[in-house]
Structures are given as C-alpha cells and as structure tokens.
Structure 1
Amino acid sequence: MSLPVPQETASQEAARSLLTALTGHAPAGLWSAPGRVNLIGEHTDYNEGFVLPFAIPHRTVAAVGLRDDARIRVASTFTDEQIEVGLDELDRLFPTATGSEPAVPEWAAYPLGVAWALQQATRSTGSGNGFSGIDIAIASDVPVGAGLSSSAAIEGATASALNDLWNTGLDRAALARIGRRAENEAVGAPTGIMDQMASMLGEPDAAIFLDCRSLEANLVPVGVAQAGLAILVMDTRVQHAHSTGGYRDRRAACERGAAIMGVPSLRDVSVADLDRAATLMDDVTFRRVRHIVTENQRVLDTVRMLREHGARAIGDLLVASHASMRDDFEISVPELDTAVASALAAGAIGARMTGGGFGGAAIALVEQDAVADVADAVRAAFAASGFTEPHLFTVTPSAGAHRDA
C-alpha cells in the first residue's frame, strides 16, 4: 500500500507557483526554515550569554531554480518587486556598515546577503569559483515584525538551499553563522546569533539551550503539552525593526558596561557583581547591565526548572524577565505590557514579551483548557485601551530548517 503524499502548505504552494511564474520551470527544490519564539533570554545573545529559544511551526519557504548564467534573482510574495544582480556584484553591494541603509531593498538584502556571506565563507577554500546562477522565490507564514524572527527564517531557508545547490557542505551551525553575518553586515542589523541557531537547530518538543560564547547547543525538553499547558503568542501588531536606533543604543550600553567592569562581555559579570557595578556607572547603563546579568541567571534557572520540575515551574521566571525588560532594559511598549498583564490576570501561569522589543509579541504559558478565555481577556484589554486587535495563536516547539521537496 502506498503512503499518502503530504499536501503542500500554502507557503510551499505560493513559493513554487511564484518561481514557476518567474522562470517557466518547476523549481529544483523547496527549502524552509521556521521562525522562533524565545522562551527566555532576551538581548543576552550579543553579550555572549545564554538563551533558550525554540523553533515554531510557522515557516518561510524558498523555491529555488538554477540558471545558466552567473546571476541571482530574488522575488517574494511580500512585494511585486524583483531584484536581480550578478553574483560578482555581491562584493560591491555588501558589506553594509552596521546601522546604514542596505544597498538593495531590505527584504532582498536578507537572501542576497546570505548568498554573499556563503561565497565569502567558502571562497578561501577554493569552492567559491563555480557558483551557479540562482532564482529564489520566497513565501512565508511567519508574522513579519512580530519579534518571531521572520528574518532568520528567510536566512535559514536561503542558506539551506544554497548550501545544497552550491554543494558547499556546511553544517547547520555554520549556516547559522552565515545568516548572522548576512543580517549584521548586509542588512545592517546588530543582532546576535540566537535567531539563526534556533531556526537551524530546532527540534520538536524541545528548546535550544545555547551558550552564545561557545555556540554549544543542547536540547532541553519543554514538555508543555504533557503538562496540560499551551504557549499562546500575543502578536501586538506593533511593528519593530532591529536596524533602528533603540536596538543599537542598548547594545552600545552593554558594551560600555562591560568596559567599565573590565571584562570582555557582560557574560563575565555575575549577580554578585551588581552591587559594585552600581557604584561605577550611571543609572541607565547600570540598569541595562542589570537586565543582562539577571536575565542570564534566569535562563540558567529556567533550564534547571524544566529539567527537574517541568514547564509548570517556570512561570515566575517568565514574569520576572518581562519586568526586567520593561523597567531595566526599557524595550517594552504599552501594548506588550497590556498583553502580559491581561494574560496573567486571566490565569496565565507566566507571561513575558519575546524578541528584541519595541513592539512585536509576548507569550503566555496557559492551561490548555483556558486558552480561549485568556485570549478573550487579552482582546478585551486591547479594545479597552484603544489598541489594534492583537493576533493570537498557539505554538509548539518544532523542527528546524530542512529541504521540503
């Protein structure tokens, strides 16, 4: 008896159709990568600290076709725009100085930046001289601007495709580093590597405990469903962008705090050091430092609690994380605070904003049979405050980047 053929997702169908419309040919293959939710550990990644993200079911799909010339064209269902350049032009386009405008539209800088970074990484080995031309069509159901790393999903899908078609032979961690370089230097967003690692390394029912200094990654069972719980994402629909000034200012404050403490990064500052830190730096810098130091500890505590006691034991840590981001790092917004407060008031075990801040989404750990009630309470609170209605949905830890077809 033959097995049923899996139905294509809407994103797979859309990417395939777009590529076929562009080229007149079926794609050589489909590759996809997920967005991510960060369970805990915000802004610790670029401070060489600890994070605990997991991949979500929402994915970006890249349908890719081979060309008979040395050019690369990218298209997306997000826009009618198409960008085409010669592969030998990528060195001229990139790198972009961090914080400046990309040399191409930002949506195109992600896949083109990955192609550039992959060429850079492999050229020294002699494998960068025979890259074939490529057409890439991108479709996605990862919410854009929600803090769920739609950018890393684009990078992961593109890097996976090019790694296969260009036969560069890089492992998943190396492809995550390719994605980070594209985001830092091609797009100009000074992010860490958490998003790319989560998108590449995700596994079902597991979070990725990542040491952002060593890049050692260990899977930690989350066990949300087994505990009778669900993870509710509350997308505020307040758009954010990592390449804007607030993110850069926070990173600069962290670097300033590390220099004052005489350490390479805030990873090297412990909770016990905070009293001394308070005497050495201004109030704003100290509060930025205090968030990073205590957030690192909260990640370690969350990993321990998950392993020893399960998902029901981490609620207070999520709540403390949000308070730290709101008060010390000052990256929350009223919509995020409303989402967290209303979810907790409706019975959520824990809740916090997730992602880089200044908008985006929050998460709540909720009893499975109370998801609808909590969601209704959040919608009501947003309506009472005059906010745009949030987008609410549940997620489960899911698989990372792979070839779909």
Structure 2
Amino acid sequence: MSSVEFIEPISHDDGVARATELFRATFGEEPAGVWAAPGRVNLIGEHTDYNAGLCLPIALPHRTFLALKPREDTTVRLVSDVNPTAVAEAELNGLKARGVDGWAAYPTGVAWAMREAGFDQVRGFDAAFVSCVPLGSGLSSSAAMTCSTALALDDVYGLGYGATDEGRVTLINMAIKSENDMAGASTGGLDQNASMRCTAGHAIRLDCMPGLSAVDSVSQQEFDLDKYGLELLVVDTQAHHQLNDGQYEQRRRTCEQAAELLGY
C-alpha cells in the first residue's frame, strides 16, 4: 500500500517571494507586483453552471501566484515554476481565437479577451507563475491562472473592476472567454466565479440563471469548517482531468441537446 501524500498550500509570503524570484531570474528585473487567485472545490452542482442551475463551490487555500510587469509593446512572455527554463512568447497584435498553443493560451487569452472587449489600453506583459493548485485534478488550476492574470492586468492597466464584487464579474467574463475561445477548454463560469468571489469561511451559492445581476447571482453561505472542528478531504483518484480533451465539451453538448428537446 503506497503512502498518503498531502499537498500543503503555499503561504502568502512564500508564494509572493517565489513568484518574485522566478520573475527576477527569468526577466532580469523587478515585477510591478504579485497577484493570486485560488483553485476551488465544488460541494454540489456539477455541470449545472452552463445549464442555468445552482452550484455551491468553495475556494481552496491552494493558490496560483503571479508576478507581472506590463510592457510598452504587445508581446507576452510567460514562465512557470513547472518548467522554469522555458519561456513561452505570444504576440497580441493580430491574435485570433485558438492562436496560442499549450498552457500559455490561458494567460495570453485573458489579455486578448480584454482587447476584444474594447480595453485597448491593455498591452503586453511579462509574467511568472508559481502555483500549488494540483494540475489536472479537477481543482480549477486553469481558473486560478486566468483569474490571477485578470486581476493583475486590471490593476496594472487601471481598468478598475477588481475592487468590487460586481466589477469582478467583468473580469470573470474575460477569464471565461480566454478558456473557451483561446484555450479551447469549454467552461461555464463556475470555476472563475468561485476563484474570484468566494470569501473566507463561506461557500457561494451561485445561480447561473440568465438575466440575473452580478449581485443577485451570488450569495455567501456560511461554510466554516474550523468553527466545528472539521476538515474537508479532497482525494486524488489519479484519473487525470483535462478540460480541453473533448469529454467536457461532449457532456455540455449533450446537456444542451437535452434542454432543446425539452423546450428549455
């Protein structure tokens, strides 16, 4: 019987220090700052986000840290602690959907989505990612990456959406567009809402019914495990999860076809 391995979260200070050091080592200068966004666990409501239903996710203490500095041109350069010697590069000018391959599509796609939405002040950037959100485990490592990128770009380019819950919905939409249209990973918004809108000691009750305002779509529900001396155990089944392998999209299409047949 193999031993059990627990993946502990990186502390805030350690995450900031590690992302900053990776940025310095890669790009030879200081970042403008470090931003972070968490992964998530969904307590109930799988595949209900894109079916206009209810979800109840919580944010994990495991986060992705992003050290970033804006550029004057439209070049994007990216590095990750998964492979710190490899720098991915993309060009925003003339970029089309699905125009970036691999993991770099996620953060690059956020800047692309912002520019597509009319935020022309968004330009290129250099970024270094350090994360303790387990990859390929269904814990939204991709949303942690896109949401931390959206928060960083919102700050450095002065968009002004990150300070309020309602404003963050705009950033969430940029993160969703990045995953759906640039990375080709179909997602309904549950992951990004959890990453950006969950608060400590609470789950969010996310109502995905179309037409609801940002305020009406989310309510904070007490979920303070420490208060009751409890812990939530998330177990890795070793079944690799990948949003863009086609299975998620196939299930989504099946749900949409069923809704159409039922007249919804």
Query: What is the TM-score of this pair, normalised by structure 2?
Result: 0.87
Residue deviations 1:234-271, cap 9 Å, x none?
A: 122321111123212211111111111111xxxxxxxx
Q: CA deviation at 1:21?
A: 1.5
1:141 alignment partner AA: C
User: Residues 66, 50 of structure 1: CA spacing in aligned structure 2 closer, same or farther, 3 A cutoff?
Assistant: same
SS at match of 2:171: helix
Q: Which residue of the partner structure matches residue 44 of structure 1?
A: 48
Cα distance change on mapping 1:256 and 1:132 into 2, 3 Å: closer
**Which amino acid in structure 2 is aligned with residue 189 of structure 1?**
A
What stretches of structure 2 of length at least 5 have no aligned partner? Answer: 1-10, 162-166
1:236 aligns with 2:237: yes
User: What amino acid maps onto 1:153 in structure 2?
Assistant: A
Q: Which residue of the partner structure matches residue 193 of structure 1?
A: 189
Distance in structure 1 (CA, Å) of the matches to 2:108 and 2:204: 27
**Inter-partner Cα distance in structure 1 for 2:200 and 2:130:** 22
Structure 1, unpaired ranges of 5+: 1-6, 97-102, 264-405
Identity across the alignment (%): 43
Match of 2:251 in 1: 250
Provide the residue aligned with 2:125 in structure 1: 134
- Structure 1 or 2, whichever has the larger Rg, is 1
1:379 is matched with none
- What is the identity, as a one-letter code, of the residue corresponding to 1:27? P
Paired with 2:173 and 2:122, the residues of 1 have a C-alpha distance of 20
Moved more, 209-218 or 142-151: 209-218
**CA-to-aligned-CA distance 1:298-354 (integer Å, 9 cap, x gap):** xxxxxxxxxxxxxxxxxxxxxxxxxxxxxxxxxxxxxxxxxxxxxxxxxxxxxxxxx
Question: Aligned AA for 2:50?
Answer: Y
CA distance 1:113–1:132, change in 2 (3 Å): closer
CA distance in 2, matches of 1:182, 1:132: 16
Tell me how far 1:29 sits from its aligned partner: 0.2
Instruction: State how far apart, in whole Å, the 1-side matches of 2:34 and 2:49 are.
Output: 30
* Deviation at residue 105 of structure 1 after TM alignment: 3.0
Question: Is the CA contact (8 Å cut-off) linking 1:58 and 1:142 kept in structure 2?
Answer: yes
Q: TM-score, normalised by structure 1?
A: 0.58
Deviations 1:156-188, CA, capped at 9 Å, x for gaps: 110000011111222211111111111110111
Q: Which residue of 2 aligns with 1:16?
A: 20
Residue 8 of structure 1 and its aligned partner are, at CA, apart by 5.2
SS in 2 for 1:145: coil
Aligned residues: 243
Cα-Cα RMSD: 1.6
- 1:225 deviates by 2.4
Matched, 1:82 2:73: no
The corresponding residue for 1:164 is 155
Q: Which amino acid aligns with 1:51?
A: C
Match of residue 3 from structure 2: none
Alignment of 1:273-352 (within 5 A): none
Deviation for aligned residue 1:38: 0.5
Distance 1:133 1:50, change over 3 A: same
